[in-house]
Amino acid sequence: MKLLDTISTILLDMNSTFMFGEDRFSESEDYHLTYQSVGGSRLSAAQVHHAIQNCYAGLSQDYENPEKYAAFPTLEQGFELYSNVQGQDIVHLVDTFACHELGQISQEYADFLKNLAQTHALGLVANIWAPKDRWLAEFVRVGIQDVFKTMVFSSDIGCIKPSPEIYTIALQGLHAPHFETLFVGDSLKYDMEGAKQMGFITVWINSEHNSHPMADYVIPGLFHLDQLTVKTATPTNESLN
């Protein structure tokens, strides 16, 4: 029996699950060009570069700190704390950061999600640092703005996966019990660990087909989700090549 035939609710991660090319924060990025494209003009190229890089480095450390999971700084606070930026300059820097944090969704993934939404209630649980506006615009661009019955972005609520709060909010939006919910994501630490602690059925996207106790099922990519079959025995993981 197919796994998807046994459940009605699916929560999905976003980055590296159905959105790709995100988090472009290398030293070689032309942040100033992006800054100008979103209307910024007051800061020099060096100032923009240092502000973005310092903010990214500081928030990256926070992202690895379990004490910050339930109280993660806003991007504005990140610029104030780690880049010493104040006032009007933050507005364009936040939008610049968002442009580099944002990935893209291919039409193939968009179509897969649209089809999946015909048979299952879908929810989104995404860790992002910038405000969600550009992500919502990307959803509109590929036509998936209506496939999710609930969308929880960490930047809206001040906590990140694997904090149980972010999953709980998503469940409330779907009116679904945790034990009948499937969670799909690519991160063992931020997706599988938190989802497993919530009691979800967990599907780990891992192209190397590794197994882990936090993952009930392993697939190389989202397109393989509908090929999973219900396991007849536990605790072994099913890995789908």
| 216-236: pLDDT as tens digits | 999 999 999 999 999 875 444
Do 202 and 234 fall within a single domain? yes
> Of 101, 123, 140, which residue sits at a domain end?
101
| Within-domain flag for 163 | yes
CB-count exposure of residue 99 (10 Å: 0-12, 13-18, 19+)? middle
Mark whether 151 and 134 lie in a shared domain. Answer: yes
Domain boundaries, position 209 = 3-21+104-239
Q: Please tell me the total number of residues recorded for the chain in this structure.
A: 241
pLDDT digits (tens, 9 = 90+) for 112-122: 999 999 999 99
Predicted local confidence at residue 233, as pLDDT: 55
Pairwise CA distance, residues 175 & 234, whole Å: 28
| Low-confidence residues in the chain, pLDDT < 50 | 234-236
* Angle at the Cα of 156 from the Cα atoms of 155 and 162, rounded to 5 degrees: 60
Tokens at 95, concatenated: 């939008």
Q: Which of 46, 79, 101 is the last residue of a domain?
A: 101
Q: Residue 26 falls within a domain, yes or no?
A: no
Question: Total domain count for the chain?
Answer: 2
pTM: 0.93
- By C-alpha distance, which of 1, 4, 7, 2 is closest to 199? 7
